[in-house]
Amino acid sequence: MAKTPNLSHGRDYLAIPGPSVIPDAVLRAMHRSSPNIYEGELIDLTATLIPDLKAVARTDHSVAIYIGNGHAAWEAALVNTLQEGDKVLVPSSGQFAHSWANMAAALGIDCEILEFGKQSPFDIDRISEVLAQDTAHKIKAVLAVHVDTSTGIRNDPAAIRAALDALDHPALLMADCIASLGCDRFEMDDWGVDIMVAACQKGLMTPAGLGFVFFNDRAKRARASLKRVSNYWDWTPRADPEFYYQYFGGTAPTHHLYGLRAALDMIGNEGLENVWDRHAILAHAVWAAFDAWGREGSLRMNAADPAYRSHAVTALRIDPPYGTKLRAWAQKEIGLTLGMGLGMAPSGDRAWHGFFRLGHMGHVNGHMILGALGGIQAGLRALKIPHGSGALDAAADVIAGQRGP
């Protein structure tokens, strides 16, 4: 007997805010035998990655590569600059600030969290006030998440640098660009960021497994002042290796390096400014659709003001349990995976039923975004979730160049 037809057969679409869609070129580059790790091609290829990574981060300074995820890069940034008993200031616009702070706290670092809730960016005046009161300069670093992936809120690291400079406060400025790198504009050197952490599986379009820490001379001085840093996490030999294995503190992540090379080539060929602009236009198409849907029913973007919405991910609120139902429908019926709510429940449940996220980072183009939005439209209808009309037309107008950004 014939089974019920199901429209999920075809290419799956992982539209979550990381890991992101892996380009075929990256997959192909990784599909090969293991290279010689002592000499030749891989050594040469690794050397080419360093300047290209720095170009994407907009820095002339140093980068250390870790075999690890974003959490590894978080820890690396902390242990190379801080020690037990040091204090840090952690402004928060969502879950990721808290997770980074938890990691610091586990290292014995005293974290002062400045909470701005789940729907607002950092209030720079409040950050300034706290820094101004710290006349003894006990605060050694400000840990700033650029784009908080749980809320879709984008913050302004340059404004924190301005606040630090205005007060002549020596704290290091650390930025978490794990979600934003290669999606939202970020200028490490121009914005005065001392340390930036990233990973390869979001805007850099490579399977999870590489973490990056970019650091400048001020950060190097902080490292030099520490009594010790564990051999494995020490960024010094990784950024300035005498022998090839020191790049990775051991065996090279061979296939990830081939994949990353292909991804950086794609970014280089498109041009970083064009990559940012593509993300901006696609984000505006997404927002146009959600604006239209939100004119009736309960579906709303989490960040009310587009000025502080990320171009990499959009977080949505909807009457529970519609968030969970919509995600389940899209997964089962059309092969579209939407992101769950992270840290959104009052109780702290990881997946809250009144929340979901749409990732639009990395290897995404106009037809993919229209496809994801069309899938959401179908889900809203199938599940009889109240919503406004005209969403797909509104998104198509943006893609057609007939409306913003």
Candidates 179, 205, 260, 282: give the one binding ligand PLP (CB under 6 A).
179
Give SS3 for 115: strand
Q: Is 314 in the site for ligand PLP (CB under 6 A)?
A: no
Residue 96 C-beta: closest distance to ligand PLP, Å: 4
Q: Is 96 in the site for ligand PLP (CB under 6 A)?
A: yes
Distances (CA, A) of 69 to 72, 73, 199: 5, 7, 6
Q: Is 18 in the site for ligand PLP (CB under 6 A)?
A: yes
Question: Considering CB under 6 A, how many residues would be counted as binding ligand PLP?
Answer: 13
B/e letters for 327-364, b = 16+ CB within 10 Å, e = fewer, are: bebbeeebbbebbbbbbbeeeeeeebbbbbbbbbbbbb
Residue 88 C-beta: closest distance to ligand PLP, Å: 16
Give SS3 for 332: helix
Nearest of 362, 369, 403 to residue 286 by alpha carbon: 369
Residue 333 C-beta: closest distance to ligand PLP, Å: 27
Q: Is 78 in the site for ligand PLP (CB under 6 A)?
A: no
Name the residue nearer to ligand PLP (CB basis): 161 or 202: 202
Give the strand order in the sheet containing 210-215.
62-67, 210-215, 195-199, 172-176, 139-145, 87-92, 110-115
Name the residue nearer to ligand PLP (CB basis): 46 or 92: 92
Name the residue nearer to ligand PLP (CB basis): 77 or 262: 77
* One-letter amino acid for residue 151 of the chain: T
Residue 69 C-beta: closest distance to ligand PLP, Å: 3
Nearest of 287, 248, 166, 262 to residue 207 by alpha carbon: 262
Stretch that binds ligand PLP, among 68-76, 157-165, 318-326, 339-347 (CB under 6 A): 68-76
Nearest of 315, 328, 304, 312 to residue 182 by alpha carbon: 312
State both tokens at 362: 């990395």
Q: Is 214 in the site for ligand PLP (CB under 6 A)?
A: no
β-bridge mates for residue 358, sequence order = 314
Stretch that binds ligand PLP, among 64-72, 83-91, 218-226, 259-267 (CB under 6 A): 64-72
Residue 146 C-beta: closest distance to ligand PLP, Å: 7
State both tokens at 284: 């505006």
Residue 55 C-beta: closest distance to ligand PLP, Å: 21
Cα separation, 37 vs 252, in Å, equals 7
Residue 170 C-beta: closest distance to ligand PLP, Å: 25
State both tokens at 201: 């599986």
Q: What is the DSSP letter of 310?
A: -
Distances (CA, A) of 379 to 218, 280, 290: 51, 25, 14
Residue with smallest beta-carbon separation from ligand PLP: 70
Q: What is the per-residue binding string for ligand PLP in 123-162, x denoting contact by CB under 6 A?
A: ----------------------x-x-x-------------
Please identify which residue in the block is written with the tokens 């990830």. Answer: 256
Residue 237 C-beta: closest distance to ligand PLP, Å: 23
Distances (CA, A) of 239 to 27, 72, 144, 232, 249: 27, 16, 23, 13, 11
Residue 315 C-beta: closest distance to ligand PLP, Å: 12
Candidates 42, 58, 62, 70: give the one binding ligand PLP (CB under 6 A).
70
Q: Is 71 in the site for ligand PLP (CB under 6 A)?
A: yes
User: Binding to ligand PLP (CB under 6 A): which residues in 186-205?
Assistant: 199
Please identify which residue in the block is written with the tokens 């919503």. Answer: 387
Candidates 76, 127, 178, 239: give the one binding ligand PLP (CB under 6 A).
178
| 283 in Cβ contact with 311 (< 8 Å) | yes
Q: Is 294 in the site for ligand PLP (CB under 6 A)?
A: no
Q: Is 69 in the site for ligand PLP (CB under 6 A)?
A: yes
Q: Is 339 in the site for ligand PLP (CB under 6 A)?
A: no
Stretch that binds ligand PLP, among 49-57, 107-115, 174-182, 263-271 (CB under 6 A): 174-182
Which residues would be at the binding site for ligand PLP (CB under 6 A)? 18, 69-71, 96, 145, 147, 149, 176, 178-179, 199, 208
